[in-house]
Amino acid sequence: MPFELDGIRCDIICGVAPDGRRRGWIQVHVHPDALRRLGLHPDQPTAAVVGPSPPGWWHAAAERHAQM
């Protein structure tokens, strides 16, 4: 994993959902410096969308390929 042990924290949250069923959630916290090293921090220009989104057929093809 590209993160150091002190750069990431995972919390597990369990409880009852509004429909009465038991649910579990995982919340991941990543230190901003760890994101900066990977070029993913929002302050960096590489984290912003720089072009148009791919066409709809591209997304559909990617989803079909992921299920194979």
Q: Is the pLDDT of residue 5 over 90?
A: no
Residue at 21 is within a domain = yes
41/15: higher pLDDT: 15
Give the span between the Cα atoms of 41 and 33, in whole angstroms.
Answer: 8
Residue at 56 is within a domain = no
Residue at 55 is within a domain = no
* pLDDT for the residue 41: 74
Residue at 65 is within a domain = no
Q: Mean pLDDT across the stretch 27-35?
A: 86
Which residues constitute the domain of residue 31?
Answer: 1-48
Q: Is the pLDDT of residue 23 over 80?
A: yes
Give the span between the Cα atoms of 11 and 21, in whole angstroms.
Answer: 20
Q: Find out whether 39 and 60 touch, Cβ atoms under 8 Å.
A: no
Minimal CA–CA distance to 30: which of 57, 1, 53? Answer: 1
Residue at 39 is within a domain = yes
Q: Find out whether 34 and 27 touch, Cβ atoms under 8 Å.
A: no
Residue at 63 is within a domain = no
Q: The pTM is what?
A: 0.47
The domain total for the chain is 1
